[in-house]
Amino acid sequence: MNSTAKTFLVLLGATVFFNVMFYYLSSNIEDFENLPLPPKKVERYETGNPLIKVDAQSRDTWALLDFSTGQIHRVEDMEKDVAPLQKLNWDLAFQRTKIVTNGGVTNPKGPVQVKNLGQVDFDQVEQVPAARTDFKQDDRGWGGSIVNKALVDWYIYRTRTHNVESKKDVYLIDTGDGFVKMKIINYYCERPESDCQSMMCTRDEAACLTLEYRYIPNGENTFPASTIEQPQTAQVTH
């Protein structure tokens, strides 16, 4: 059998195969449409501690958070809006991935300082330390930008997907009127970070930081225990 005949038979066989498959699919399409899709895996971060979501999406304003009340204020320029920075009650300020504090270079009259405890169990951090060692206030970084060395590397930047993922470090924050322990558990507004580890999440979906925290006022030395009976849920896959 010459090559022309072989080619003809291959093409003929392929044509018959695709026609049979098309007929089968078209005649059974309703069966496929009626089959339920497998349930989407839902990933949740459950905690018995308070959660707060900070909208830091704006590149034109900063979100100033007061842990004692949960209230959020907004200012446009952290270096020029000196008067509101000194008058408002706030602890941390957020803009996209940037986090600064009410203390040091940002506000020399502010008392806030932060210590990074690393990736420890949040609920195992029970006591306020007697000695205030290794706490950081804001300072000037390279290029003159304001940074807090305890907070500046709170995230991992995924070069393959260009996404941001929290390191899940736990931070102790001396607010001047109390103490806070805090962990950043998500950076995305409606998605869990696990969705963004293997696919690109758009910038429009980013910069809504979900924080797990506990606040105690001055005079108290022990953080309340986690209330497991009524856990709050974050990072719900939609």
Give the tens place of pLDDT for each residue, 114-172: 999 999 999 999 999 988 899 999 999 888 899 999 999 999 988 877 788 999 999 99
Q: Where in the chain are the domains?
A: 3-34, 45-234
Distances (CA, A) of 168 to 49, 100, 171, 231: 15, 18, 9, 19
Q: Please give the span between the terminal C-alpha atoms of the chain, in angstroms, as a whole number.
A: 59
φ, ψ for residue 191, nearest 5 deg: -105, 150
Please state, in angstroms and rounded to a whole number, the distance separating the CA atoms of residues 52 and 22: 53
**Three-state SS at 86:** helix
Closest CA to 207 of 80, 66, 99, 69: 99
| pLDDT, tens digit, 9 for 90 and up, residues 9-56 | 656 666 656 554 544 444 443 443 444 444 444 456 778 899 999 999
**Residue 154 structure tokens:** 């709170």
Taking 3-state DSSP, the helix, strand and coil percentages for the chain, each rounded to the nearest 5, stand at 20, 35, 45
Summary mean pLDDT of the chain: 82
